[in-house]
């Protein structure tokens, strides 16, 4: 569940995680937008990191945060500490053409303490051969890139990579899409990511989050 921001209380996230312990809260990090909707301030992120008691938390690096990670910024690396998974948003935040893909691969290899989620489209499939040698990575199919646009169909996982799915999933179509994704994924483990679909008037909507978690619960194979 992606996009909690300064308007969201960590206590409410804790309460939902207690009820649905499989939930992963994904926090968007983009310093140039910090404090705006979807993009919490550094102070909120630190408070979340300190007081969140659930099992799963991710940080999605966008824009300058993504580029600073590649250059080894101490500020971004410090903010990442305590998160379990780090998503690298290659298709959002205007980063295209501003980094060397080999530097990206080297930086991922240098941090095995995280599982890295690579935002994937057919535009960056040339990264796949190098990623296959890195055990601490997974792929997220995300043609929508946070815009809430559903694909016409969900692809099968790419051989050699654990894959997740995002784009256009809402509380109203979650059952349909989870069923379709389960069919596409077969017996492989996967996950779904939602951002726009759990917002109302661009505000993070805990009621919608609860609705989706309730729908998803029967599909969870392993729950800590």
- Is the separation of the CB atoms in 154 and 184 below 8 Å? yes
| Residue range 92-98: mean pLDDT, rounded | 86
Q: Is residue 4 part of a domain?
A: no
Residue 34 placed within a domain: yes
For residue 224, pLDDT over 60 is answered with no
Q: What is the CA angle 16-18-19, rounded to 5? A: 65
What is the tens place of the pLDDT at every residue in 132-180? 999 999 999 986 655 566 677 899 999 989 999 998 899 999 999 999 9
- What proportion of the chain, given as a percentage, has pLDDT over 70? 95
Residue 64 in any domain: the answer is: yes
Strands 199-200 and 203-204: antiparallel
Average of pLDDT values for 100-113? 96
Alpha-carbon Rg for the chain, nearest whole angstrom, is 16
pLDDT of residue 152: 72
Q: What is the mean pLDDT of residues 194-204?
A: 96
Asked, for residue 81, whether it belongs to a domain, the answer is yes
Split into its structural domains, the chain has a count of 1
Percentage of the chain with pLDDT > 90?
84
Angle between helices 206-216 and 174-185 (to 10 degrees): 40
For residue 52, being part of any structural domain is answered with yes
* Distant-in-sequence, close-in-space partners of 68: CB < 8 Å, separation ≥ 6: 75, 76
Is the residue at 5 inside a domain? no
Distance (Å, rounded) from C-alpha 40 to C-alpha 104?
Answer: 25
Task: Output the domain CATH number for residue 176.
Answer: 3.20.20.70
pLDDT at 57 over 90: yes
Residue 224 lies in a domain: no
* Model confidence, pTM: 0.93
The widest CA-to-CA distance across the chain, in whole angstroms, is 43
Predicted pLDDT of residue 139: 95
Mean pLDDT of the chain: 92
Domain that includes residue 112, residue range: 10-219
């Amino acid at each position: 569940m992606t996009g909690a921001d300064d308007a969201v209380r960590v206590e409410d996230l804790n309460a939902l995680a207690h009820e649905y312990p499989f939930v992963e809260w994904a926090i968007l990090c983009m310093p140039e937008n910090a404090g705006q909707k979807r993009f919490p301030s550094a102070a909120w992120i630190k408070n979340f990191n300190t007081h969140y008691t659930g099992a799963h938390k991710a940080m999605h690096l966008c824009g300058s945060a993504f580029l600073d990670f590649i250059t080894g910024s101490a500020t971004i690396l410090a903010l990442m500490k305590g998160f379990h998974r780090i998503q690298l948003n290659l298709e959002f935040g205007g980063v295209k053409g501003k980094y060397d893909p080999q530097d990206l691969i080297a930086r991922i290899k240098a941090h095995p303490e995280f599982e890295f989620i690579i935002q994937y489209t057919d535009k960056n499939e040339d990264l796949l051969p190098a990623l296959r040698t890195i055990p601490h990575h997974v792929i997220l199919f995300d043609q929508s890139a946070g815009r809430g646009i559903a694909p016409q169909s969900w692809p099968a996982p790419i051989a050699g990579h654990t894959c997740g799915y995002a784009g256009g999933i809402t509380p109203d179509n979650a059952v349909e899409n989870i069923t379709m994704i389960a069919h596409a994924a077969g017996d492989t483990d996967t996950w779904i990511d939602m951002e726009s679909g759990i917002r109302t008037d661009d505000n993070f909507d805990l009621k919608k989050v609860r609705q989706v978690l309730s729908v998803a619960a029967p599909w969870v194979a392993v729950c800590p």
